[in-house]
A and B are shown apart, each in its own frame.
Chain A
Amino acid sequence: MHAPDGFLNAGTAVVTGALSAGTVGAALRQAKHYLQHRQVPLAGITAAFVFAAQMFNFPIAAGTTGHLLGGALAAILLGPHVGAVVITVVVVVQALVFADGGLTALGYNLLNMAVIPAYGGYAVFKLFRRLLPATSGGVVAATGLAGWVSVVLSSMAFSIEWLFGATAPVSFTRVFAAMVGVHLLIGTGEGVISALTVGTVLASRPDLIAGAADLDAGQIEDTRGPRAPTLLIAGVVAALFLASVVSQFAFADPDGLERVAQETGFAASGEEHLLSDSVFADYATAGIENETVSLAIAGVAGTLIVLAVGWGLLLGVKRPGRRSAV
């Protein structure tokens, strides 16, 4: 997701740059107290941890690997503001030192990889903490859902930026469907790894997790995850949350590019495409032309994925001693 220079037009780079700088500035002010008093070395070493974790590939399925983005994880471990600041540093250093992502692309890269995953992921985490039981199992499940949603949100942000700043006439629907489709899958990896990581930290140093600061010792001891009906509701909420974001773009004037293409008479010639027989392409046309059906499909698919992730977590979180309950 580290976009290079020239990927989006100059206007989008400037606007997203201003947005990111503003948000990171606000995050810095919010985190000031924390960072002044003790934690600058700590934040730096955590940034190094996130950076290293991003280099650590994990398998997704049959030889495909992904790597952690870490936005939601950092926000849950350190709080949203410090988390956003830490990921910002990671993304800037990657662009500056490792030529990973363009320097003029920093505006949108920061927005997609630092600001949106940290704040969006934390918001989702908070939401699920309310829905799920106040136990370490609940924290782990909420982390998984937040990690998954954060990656999907980030891919959505990327597509929306493409809508405004496209440098080639690839339609928004196509980019949106491909990006979000792929990241619905990649996000499960992010969710599972984030959740298991938080689970491990909860087992040894629960005091380090900002997102679990409200739990008392007894609740931390309680590794029981949410029960199936609760998890089902959580899954539906996650799917609805994503669907509501999707629908914003399905119902509002969706596709400037396509309209321009139609007005200039290009659209007629662009019927057959390489991707037209892929799942994503069908999803794309359905997603925009028949909102209800596509939202329903997206909702059901989302719920199923969430449930699968959730159950995976439940099995993962149980400590060996409590295995008898499974």
Chain B
Amino acid sequence: MGAGHAHALYVHEHSAVHRLAPEAKLAAALSFIAAVAVTPREAVWAFGLYALVLALVLAAARVPPRFLFLRLLGILPFVAFAFLIPFVATGDRVEVLGIEVSGEGLWGAWNILAKATLGAATSIGLAATTEVPKLIEGLGALKVPAVLVSIAAFMIRYLELIAEELGRMRMAMAARGYDPHWLGQVKPIAAAAGAMFVRSYERGERVHSAMLARGYSGVMPVLRPAGAGWFDWLLAMTLPLTGVVIAAVALVVT
């Protein structure tokens, strides 16, 4: 199912970033975002440097800027909230373009905007250079409980199938003139969701018995022989190490 077909979130390229072991990339992305998150918001230059370093990595991974930008739109709701902050926040008043806003609030908005954008860009870069099954494998290598990892693996495997099934149900309803505007008209959607749950559950039972028939003992066999080598770790960690240095300087300076 889905063998050889890459996910929409993945950018098919052959770069050094793509080749890195997933667990090293995961750890690197997490620690880089953590460094960004603890950086004091007054150190504007630090966020510029983070963006630069991240842009270099994404360029090396040949992630198209357009792809990055479109995916970044996902954080818009919280960006909207960030823009609201200067108007609703308390604190000193400053005038921007003739409108009086809260100076503290402006800093708060900047803080959320900068960190959310850098964090999301890092995650997008991670997903763009690592196939989803590899990401899940990486989680396992980082000692995330095996049960969680297997559930995640099954979920990923069946997600598109189930989403498509729901999409087809929706399309069938639309084709029959179903166009709800109010919560009271929602019953067919919920009925579809209920039917979908029963179908998913029964599919899960079938999959499980099929796996038992093929010798499944509760643990998935590991096909990837070697984990991340020291070189993977070294290369991957250049990103968070740079991040940690920037964060440390920013913390000392401000």
Contacts and interface: CB of A to CB of B under 8 A. Distances in A.
Nearest to B164: A52
Interface stretch (B11-19, B81-89, B223-231, B238-246): B81-89
Interface in A59-79: 59-63, 68, 77
A5 B88 contact: no
Interface in B59-84: 71, 74-75, 78, 84
Interface of A: 3-7, 10, 13, 24-25, 28, 31-32, 35-36, 38-49, 51-53, 55-56, 58-63, 68, 77, 85-86, 88-90, 92-93, 95-100, 102-105, 166-171, 174, 188-189, 192-193, 195-201, 203-205, 208, 258, 261, 266-267, 269-270, 273-275, 312, 316
B119 interface: yes
Interface of B: 7, 9, 26, 29-30, 33-34, 36-38, 41, 71, 74-75, 78, 84-85, 87-93, 102, 104-105, 107-109, 111-112, 114-116, 118-120, 122-124, 126-127, 132, 135, 139, 145, 147-148, 150-159, 161-163, 165-166, 170, 180-187, 189-191, 193-198, 200-205, 207-208, 211, 218
Given A201-B194, A270-B90, A44 B183 contact: no
A168 B85 contact: yes
Contacts of B201: 42, 45-46, 205, 208
Given A53-B196, A63-B181, A103-B30, A169 B90 contact: yes
Contacts of A197: 190, 193-194, 197
Contact of A96 (B126, B165, B166): B126
Given A42-B201, A45-B207, A52-B159, A97 B148 contact: no
Given A45-B162, A196-B187, A270 B102 contact: yes
A6 B114 contact: yes
Given A63-B181, A97-B135, A46 B208 contact: no
Query: Lowest 9 A-B CB distances belong to which pairs?
Result: A168-B108, A44-B154, A6-B115, A200-B194, A5-B119, A196-B190, A270-B90, A4-B116, A42-B204
B204 to A, nearest CB: 4
30 contacts: A6-B37, A6-B112, A40-B208, A41-B154, A46-B201, A47-B154, A49-B162, A49-B196, A49-B200, A58-B186, A58-B189, A60-B183, A62-B182, A63-B181, A89-B155, A97-B156, A99-B75, A99-B127, A100-B74, A102-B123, A103-B122, A168-B107, A170-B88, A196-B194, A200-B191, A200-B195, A205-B201, A261-B90, A267-B90, A270-B91
Contacts of A5: 33, 36-37, 115-116, 118-120
Residue from B7, B147, B165, B180 with most neighbouring chain A CB atoms (10 Å): B147
A13 B202 CA distance: 38
B78 A7 contact: yes
Given A45-B200, A174-B88, A103 B183 contact: no
A108 to B, nearest CB: 12
A95 B166 contact: no
A59 B185 contact: yes
A44 B152 contact: yes
A170 B108 contact: yes
A93 B152 contact: yes
Given A44-B157, A99-B120, A316-B187, A273 B33 contact: no
Nearest to A200: B194
Nearest to B179: A59
Contacts of B90: 169-171, 258, 261, 266-267, 269-270
Contacts of B139: 96
B13 to A, nearest CB: 18
A52 B87 contact: no
B218 A45 contact: no
Nearest to A281: B88
Given A5-B116, A62-B182, A201-B198, A269 B33 contact: no
B158 A48 contact: yes
A8 to B, nearest CB: 10
A41 B116 contact: no
B218 A36 contact: yes
A13 B37 contact: yes
Contacts of A60: 182-183
A104 B152 contact: no
A273 B88 contact: yes
Contacts of B111: 6, 167-168
B73 to A, nearest CB: 11
